[in-house]
Amino acid sequence: MSTIFAAKAAPVGDKLRGGYYTPEPIARFVATWVAEAGSRLLEPSCGNGAILSFLSQLGTAEGVELFPEEADKARQATGSEVHTSDFFSWFTPHRRGQYDGVAGNPPYIRFGSWDEKYRLPAFDLMRSEGLNPTRLTNAWLPFVVASVAAVRDGGRVGLVLPAELLQVSYAAELRAYLIDRCSDVTVISFSDLVFPGILQEVVLLLAVKGNGPASIRTVEVADATQLNEVTLDGSAIRAPLHESEKWTKYFMSATQIEALRELRTDARLSPFSQYATVNVGVVTGRNSYFCLTDEQATDLQISDYTIPLLARSAQMSGVRFTTSDLAAQTNLGARTRLLAISPSVAKGEHPALDSYIELGELEEVHLGYKCSIRQKWWSVPSTAVPDGFMLRQISTVVRLTANQAGATSTDTVHRVFTRPGVSMGRLAVVALNSISIAMSEILGRSYGGGLLELEPSEAASLPIPNPNLVSDELIETIDRLLRQGLISEAIHAVDAAVLIEGAGFSEDQVKSARDASHRLLQRRLRRGKKALPSNRS
């Protein structure tokens, strides 16, 4: 196993099978809310019974658990009937609509780690409800669908789910399903992480089955200890039928949501894809091996087989990444060289290169998945030099920069290729406006550490004004402001010159977008990494 060239650890134990212990305040809250619908209650993945124990105190509860040892613990702890079975094999058609409430913490298992014999009946259940599962479908999605199918009209579903529910594309059909099949949906989110030692951010889904479209409300608390003080009678916003858009927007006010809906379809804005394509950065298979400092490449005598590299988003300081910027990073010892060996290069012709390849094999770099599927593991494909770069993971606001250094990037930064006649410098500036920034918060996916991630498909749909509205003088101004760290000043300058003066948006429209983006940004940045002790389901 490589010790020099570190790789990510594979999931094991609880992480692999998707089981985590539910904090007691969450278990109690979800069970109590669900039981208000009636006494016939179900926990579809009960683990050792943390949620089921509360359900059993409030009604006639039964649970289902795949693992026999966990099922035994749940029986002993709760005294309830617990079926040792795969839930989707147990959940036969006659059980649909038979429960007043369903509460649980479904497993989080990715497609590749999910045993096919359990996955197939889960996917069949989704198809029977009109959904189309894919290789991106995680195990928790069919549990949500089954939970809704299990309750009667007016019944309640209370689930502990990954915050991915709100924003990932593979949950888009599920969001539409919930809107169409429920009359009321409340999402409770936490500004602090609530599972000890786990960076997975969670939300509580509280849904009432009934005629849609659902009215949606969001509630945010610091952590699970504040659930005792939560009130669920706040204002709700009625969603359009069949809407599959991300639910991040429901953390804004109704006025802000309506304003952004109008702006998103405004003819003065076009999708980013009209001006450029966005691709992921170079996927090396092991950055610690393929990304080198200039000194390392020189000492190893392999500089001729490397190309300039923008390795980290922190290296994007202005709207242009210049040869001077690259040199400054090189002088700081950053990894600014990418090993980019042509497939035509053969072993045995270049002794220094052969030695480095042999070192990689000694350290088992070639056994990693991405490397192992290549004909020549040490030849990285798709190292094209782009016209510019876009942040993939965003701490504050979406940023782009023109590539004037002839560099490429790893997959920590997206590569941007402009369409004919489009200036990358103008494109980098025009995207730095309040409307596009607000839209990026809705289109992207945020994480517990406060980062926003835009995937290429999401970046492609980002609405932006025409880059030709940007003058050469504005490029210079914005580059200078960004290099000084004056991001807010740069955004205001673009708003004034591009949105208001150039495109003709009103000051009220721009202010509404700015307020919305600020609200979503502050919510994202508030989220910390504190966790609460727990006991399990």
Domains (range + CATH), the chain? 22-226+238-251 (3.40.50.150), 276-287+309-328+384-526 (no CATH)
Tell me, what's the pLDDT at 514?
94
Say if residue 387's pLDDT is above 80.
yes
Q: What are phi and psi of 463, to 5 degrees?
A: -75, 130
Say if residue 82's pLDDT is above 50.
yes
The mean per-residue pLDDT over the stretch 52-67 comes to: 96
Say if residue 11's pLDDT is above 70.
no
The full 3-state SS of 33-79, as one line of letters, equals HHHCCCCEEEECCCCCCHHHHHHHHHCEEEEEECCHHHHHHHHHHHC
Q: CA 537, CA 74: separation in Å to the nearest integer?
A: 9
Q: What is the signed CA dihedral for 290, 293, 297, 300, rounded to 10 degrees?
A: -90
Do the bridges between strand 81-84 and strand 60-65 make them parallel or antiparallel, or are there none, so unpaired? parallel
In the DSSP assignment, the letter for residue 170 is G
Tell me, what's the pLDDT at 194?
66
Q: What is the signed CA dihedral for 456, 458, 464, 467, rounded to 10 degrees?
A: 10
Q: What is the pLDDT of residues 509-529, one digit of tens each?
A: 999 999 999 988 888 887 644
Nearest to 495 by CA among 472, 519, 470: 470
Confidence band of 230 (pLDDT split at 50, 70, 90): confident
**Structural tokens at position 192:** 């602090």
Q: Are 103 and 61 in contact (CB under 8 A)?
A: no
Q: CA 438, CA 412: separation in Å to the nearest integer?
A: 22
Say if residue 191's pLDDT is above 80.
no
Tell me, what's the pLDDT at 536?
35
Q: What is the pLDDT of residues 24-52, one digit of tens each?
A: 999 999 999 999 999 999 999 999 999 99
pLDDT greater at residue 316 or residue 494? 494
Tell me, what's the pLDDT at 529?
43
Tell me, what's the pLDDT at 246?
85
Tell me, what's the pLDDT at 239?
87
- 16-52 in b/e form (b: 16+ CB < 10 A) is ebbbbbbbbbbbbbbbbbbbebbebbbbbbbbbbbbb
Say if residue 260's pLDDT is above 90.
no
- Secondary structure (DSSP) of 226-273: GGGG----S--EEPPTT--S-GGGGGS-HHHHHHHHHHHT-TT-EEGG
Q: Are 415 and 426 in contact (CB under 8 A)?
A: no
Say if residue 531's pLDDT is above 50.
no
Q: What is the pLDDT of residues 284-303, one digit of tens each?
A: 999 999 999 999 999 999 99
Say if residue 440's pLDDT is above 60.
yes
Angle between helices 140-150 and 172-181 (to 10 degrees): 10
Tell me, what's the pLDDT at 522?
86
Q: Are 461 and 271 in contact (CB under 8 A)?
A: yes
- % of the chain residues with pLDDT over 70: 92
The mean per-residue pLDDT over the stretch 469-488 comes to: 97
CA distances for 64 relative to 83, 88, 122, 183, 472, angstroms: 5, 10, 14, 27, 65
pTM here? 0.80
Q: Are 277 and 416 in contact (CB under 8 A)?
A: yes
Tell me, what's the pLDDT at 238?
85
Classify residue 301 as left (phi > 0), alpha (psi -120 to 50) or beta: left
Say if residue 340's pLDDT is above 90.
yes
Q: What is the pLDDT of residues 391-401, one digit of tens each?
A: 998 989 999 99
The mean per-residue pLDDT over the stretch 248-271 comes to: 89
The kind and range of the H/E element at 128 are helix 116-128
Q: CA 150, CA 91: separation in Å to the nearest integer?
A: 8
Q: What is the pLDDT of residues 412-429, one digit of tens each?
A: 899 999 999 999 999 999
Confidence band of 17 (pLDDT split at 50, 70, 90): very low
Q: How far apart are the first and last CA of the chain?
A: 35
Tell me, what's the pLDDT at 526?
75
What is the average pLDDT score of the chain? 90
The mean per-residue pLDDT over the stretch 526-536 comes to: 44
Tell me, what's the pLDDT at 193?
66
Q: What is the pLDDT of residues 85-137, one digit of tens each?
A: 999 999 999 999 999 999 999 999 998 899 999 999 999 999 999 999 999 99
